[in-house]
Structures are given as C-alpha cells and as structure tokens.
A and B are shown apart, each in its own frame.
Chain A
Amino acid sequence: MGKTIAEKILGSHSGKEAQAGEIVVAQVDFAFAQDGTAPLAIESFRKMGGKEVFHRDKVAFVIDHNSPSSKPGVSSLHRLMREFSREKGFPLYDITEGICHQVMVERLPVSAGGLLVGADSHTSTYGALNCLSIGVGSTDLAASLISGRLWFKVPETLKVILNGKLSPGVYSKDVILYLIGQLGAEGANYKSIEFEGSIVDNLSMEARFTICNMVAEMGAESGIMNVDEKTLEWMRKYNPSASHPQPVRADDDANYENILEYDLSSLEPQVAKPHRVDNVVPVSEVAGLRIDQAFLGTCTNGRLEDLRIAARLLEGREVHPEVRFIVVPASRQVSLEAMKEGVIGLLIRAGAAVLNPGCGPCVGTHAGVPADGEVVLSTANRNFKGRMGNPNASIYLASPTTVAASAVKGEITDGRELQ
C-alpha cells in the first residue's frame, strides 16, 4: 500500500511503518513556542523534572503575541521566557523580530521532509516547505523540549487539487477562504491536507504559506505541499544551513480519505463574515458595508508581497478619513525589505499606522482593540467573537487587496475596482 506525505514523514521519524490511525512516537526536528504558550511550557518542563532541552539548535522561543508587553503581568512572563532560554542556551527571538511563523520560515533549520512542532495553532504554515508541522499545546511542547520526541496519531490525508488559473486581483487568501467555506470549520479535523494543482504551482512561496497557515481553520493537523524550484530557492535564500532538502512525495497509490478537485478560474475575492471563519461569501455580497478599522498583517498576510500589494493600491490615494488602517509587518526582515523598497513610506504617506513586527491587533492582547459595535476588516485568519479583544465588535476577513481597497473607500470594496 502506498503512503501519503504525512505517513512517510511520521514513518521516517519514528522508525516504524506509519499508517493512518496508528499511534507513533516520533523524533522531532524542531520545537518552538510563543509568549502565549511558552510560560506554561516552562512550568510543565520544570514539573516534569526537565533539566536541559534536547538540542539547543532545535528549539526556539518567540515573543510576538503581546509584543512589546502591555502590562506588568505580561512583562514578567516575558522575563520568565528570557531567563529560561538564556539558562538553557537556546535562541529567543525578542520583541524586535516578528511573528513566530514568519521568523521561523526565514530561519528554520529544518528542511523539506522535516517534522516540527510548535505551541501555536498556525504551525501548519511550514507545510508549504514540505515539512510536516504540527501545532500542539504547552505540555506537549514541554515533553518535546525534554525528549525531542512526541506521540502522534498518524492522520488521514485529504488531497485537494486546485486546477485552473486565478483571475487578476484574486489571491491565495481568497482560495483558502473559499475552501474553508466549502469544507467548514471542522471539515478537515485531525487530518492532513496535501495541496496540488496548477494554482498551487503558480503561487509564490509567500502565497503558499497563506494557504498552509489557514488549514487550521478547518481543524486540519497539517497542510502540506510538494517541493519545486520555488521551494528550493526559498530554502537557499533563507536557510542555507539547513541540511540537504529531502523532498517527500506521496506514492501514486497512497490511500486518501478523500480527493477533492476544484477549478478556481472563475473565483471571486472572498470574505469571511463574523463570527466564523467558514462563514464565507464572495466580496460582492458584502460590498458597501461601512468599516471602522482595516488591519493588514499577521502570520497569514503580513509578508512583503502583501505589503507591496497594499502599497501599490494606495499609491496616489488616501486612507478614508473615518477608517483607522493598521499595518503590521510580519517580521523584522519584512519590515526592512519593505522600507528598502519604499513600501512602508507609501503606506504611511497614505495614512496607515505602521506598528512594530509581531502579531499586532490579531489576538486582542494589546494594540488596535475595536470599540463596541465597530466593524473591522482584517487580513488575519480568525474572526471569532472577541478575537480582537472586544466581543461586541465584528470582524470580517479578506485578502490584502480587499482590505487596502476598503481602507480607501471606507466600506468593503472589491479591490479589482481600484486596480
């Protein structure tokens, strides 16, 4: 019987013939946590009797969720993380560096075919680099920090083939929102999703990260893509020190739980309405709705390509006077490159508030909390009630183009009208 990518990677890392449904204990190539999950992981690590981390180069902490700290309680948890990483001798990416998932795709010491765990639900992002990357909780992470190993239930795999060619002004964010709308918030629960097809082939690496990032919104354990020249180029640029890529492909006769095929040539830009990510409609259905705040950023859409798209659209235009447009580059690297290209200048000139790299307003811990009754249009991956810190606000999700265009018009707008 042939194997899926997830079965192969869990097999090679556990030394067992891994088949969907089985439980294996696998060696992980990398483990990390962020400031929402690391403090509890440290506590569990100590209670478990942990002394050292399993490998200093295979572990990292990132301070990104509440960065810089908004209050004393947060500050002391940040200090706890700093002290722990110093004591154990592994890297901590502090408030200057950006969102864990972007920091990691820029520096990941793991290559194609690798297995990694992160104490964050959007750890699925690295699937675009052909890694099996799985989000876990703090205690799971503590166990991996100590032993370098963790138990996994080998997931069933869903194959999603995306055919056709996206029309201009339609992006990978629209693709993944559409899929989530089709499959539902639980549509891929516990599963791994393999993405293929001409649409995936034509996407940049940054756009592929957006898709793998959001598989979590269908409950998936991971989303994973094949290696091509673009993947190899990304690895050469960002992690030349990583061991030689050993791309993993599924066998032709692999056993899939289901194979779904879509032709997305006529896809329109998509919007997820409050308070569910799977509440997805074409932008035309919500166009004209007045917004109070627009947010461009997060591990889904805060990359250079996203900022460029917004800057291009805002060139020679102004942010609507009744809209607050918040832009948060996903990492220091993204910030620097966007500055070099003049992208940041364009955004600020047009009236955007540009914050330091990090999660920014995404999770409602500090900056950019909306008022009661306000409407936010965001490039993030979640629009849950209360997500941005106020349960009485409404959050809509869309692509960077839709968000930038709407920031200009003051209402939800199809970005293609302004291009």
Chain B
Amino acid sequence: MNKLRGRAYKFGDDINTDLIISGKYKFSTLDMKELAKHLLEDIDPAFSQKIKPGKSFIVAGRNFGCGSSREQAPLAIKESEICAVVAKSFARIFYRNCINVGLPVIECDTDGIEEGDCLEVSLEKGTLRNETKEVEEKISSLPQVMIDIISEGGLVEYFRKRGGFKLEP
C-alpha cells in the first residue's frame, strides 16, 4: 500500500455513527455516493464539499465510531476518498467495519495535530509524519489477518480470493 498524504480535518471525542451518517439516510439507499454527501453533516453541514478526495484525513479524539453497527459509516467515509481515519481510539464494531471495507484506521495520539496540518502516513513503516509540525510518530501495528484484509482492499475481495478465513498463509 502506498503512502497516504493529505490535510487533517479535526473532530473531537466520541464521534458516533449517527453523526457520521444519520439513520435517516442509511435505511433508504445502498448508494454510497448519495450517503457520502451527508457525511458528518450534523457536525459540519459543508464537510462533504470541503474535503479534497484522496488528500484528506479525518483526525479525531477518543472512541471514534461509537454507536451502531452501520457499515454505511465507514463506507461513506471511504466513498468520500478520505485517506484514513486517525484517532486516539476507535469503537470496536466501527474498527472492524473499517478493516472490512478496506479503510485504513490509525490509532495514535492526535493531540498534536491541528486542523489543516499536512500528514503523511506509511502503513508499512508504521509511521505518521506531521509535515506542518515537522514531527513523526509511531503508529500501532495491526494483527496479520487485518493487514491481509486491508491489503486485499477489504473482506469482500479477501473472501472472494481465498474462499474463507485463513489465519496462516
């Protein structure tokens, strides 16, 4: 997987899945492009227009993605071409769902990152570089099964190629 590079959009603690994508949209469509238009709109109505596809990170505090099991939340983020979500910690189901849809999730201390900072992440090296602040951080590494799923582009591809779960190669 290549390096991820882009600007930080900063959010607080406990951003729940209802805020990421409201229940009123997720029940009526499987069209992720449509859902992506409403990404995080209850916090920032203009968010989906602000971000640059492929060049933006969502950066948050603790417990990002808490709440419901809706996979529409990480899918809407992925559809918006957010490079990765960086947070101090993630809620359990959201974290699994991100891996399963192939959206990189990065756990590290985010206090030093400010809105607009330019970040560069290398999943291979396990580093996050804040170019604006000129600091580099180690990010926690993932278990092999998660790396395998992300590098296939998500659980769907993983399953299609391997026909099931294989813990050992």
| Chain A interface residues (CB < 8 Å from chain B) | 23-25, 35-37, 39-40, 43-44, 47-49, 65-66, 71, 73-74, 77, 119-121, 123, 135-140, 142-143, 146-147, 149-151, 153, 185-186, 189-190, 219, 221, 276, 363-365, 382, 384-387, 389, 391
CA distance A43 to B30 in the complex (A): 9
Known: A137-B70, A219-B92. 10 other contacts (CB 8 A): A24-B167, A36-B26, A40-B30, A48-B156, A49-B159, A77-B30, A137-B97, A137-B100, A139-B71, A139-B155
B72 within 8 A of A: yes
Contact A136 B69 (CB under 8 A): yes
Cβ-neighbour of A384 out of B16, B24, B154, B159 (below 8 A): B16
Contact B165 A149 (CB under 8 A): yes
Name the residue on B nearest A147 (C-beta).
Answer: B164
Name the residue on A nearest B159 (C-beta).
Answer: A48
Name the residue on A nearest B149 (C-beta).
Answer: A151
CA distance A35 to B145 in the complex (A): 29
CA distance A363 to B16 in the complex (A): 13
Name the residue on B nearest A120 (C-beta).
Answer: B69
Contact A74 B27 (CB under 8 A): yes
The number of residues on chain B lying at the interface, defined by a beta carbon within 8 Å of a beta carbon of chain A, is 41
- Chain B residues whose CB sits within 8 angstroms of the CB of A391 once the complex forms: 42
- Chain A residues whose CB sits within 8 angstroms of the CB of B28 once the complex forms: 71, 73-74, 77
User: Can you list 28 A-B contacts with CB-CB less than 8 angstroms, sorted by A residue number?
Assistant: A23-B145, A36-B27, A44-B155, A47-B160, A48-B160, A120-B69, A121-B68, A121-B93, A123-B69, A136-B96, A137-B69, A137-B70, A137-B100, A140-B97, A185-B14, A185-B63, A186-B89, A219-B66, A276-B14, A363-B68, A384-B16, A384-B18, A385-B19, A385-B42, A386-B22, A386-B42, A387-B18, A389-B22
Give min CB distance, B96 to chain A, whole Å.
Answer: 6
Contact B19 A365 (CB under 8 A): no
CA distance A88 to B143 in the complex (A): 34
Given A23-B143, A385-B19, A219–B91 Cβ distance below 8 Å?
Answer: yes
**Most central of A123, A149, A153, A386 by chain B CB within 10 Å:** A386
B5 within 8 A of A: no
Given A36-B26, A47-B160, A387-B23, A135–B71 Cβ distance below 8 Å?
Answer: no
Given A66-B27, A219-B92, A143–B69 Cβ distance below 8 Å?
Answer: no
CA distance A150 to B100 in the complex (A): 12
CA distance A65 to B71 in the complex (A): 15
Contact B27 A385 (CB under 8 A): no
CA distance A189 to B107 in the complex (A): 14
CA distance A221 to B93 in the complex (A): 8
Given A35-B27, A386-B42, A364–B71 Cβ distance below 8 Å?
Answer: no
Contact A135 B19 (CB under 8 A): no
CA distance A382 to B67 in the complex (A): 8
B2 within 8 A of A: no
Given A139-B155, A140-B100, A36–B165 Cβ distance below 8 Å?
Answer: no
Name the residue on A nearest B68 (C-beta).
Answer: A121
Give min CB distance, B141 to chain A, whole Å.
Answer: 14
- Chain B residues whose CB sits within 8 angstroms of the CB of A123 once the complex forms: 69
Name the residue on B nearest A191 (C-beta).
Answer: B92
B62 within 8 A of A: yes
Given A48-B156, A276-B14, A25–B42 Cβ distance below 8 Å?
Answer: no
Contact B69 A135 (CB under 8 A): yes
B105 within 8 A of A: no
- Chain A residues whose CB sits within 8 angstroms of the CB of B27 once the complex forms: 35-36, 65-66, 73-74, 77, 365
Contact A189 B91 (CB under 8 A): yes
Cβ-neighbour of A36 out of B62, B70, B145 (below 8 A): B70
Given A137-B100, A382-B67, A25–B23 Cβ distance below 8 Å?
Answer: no
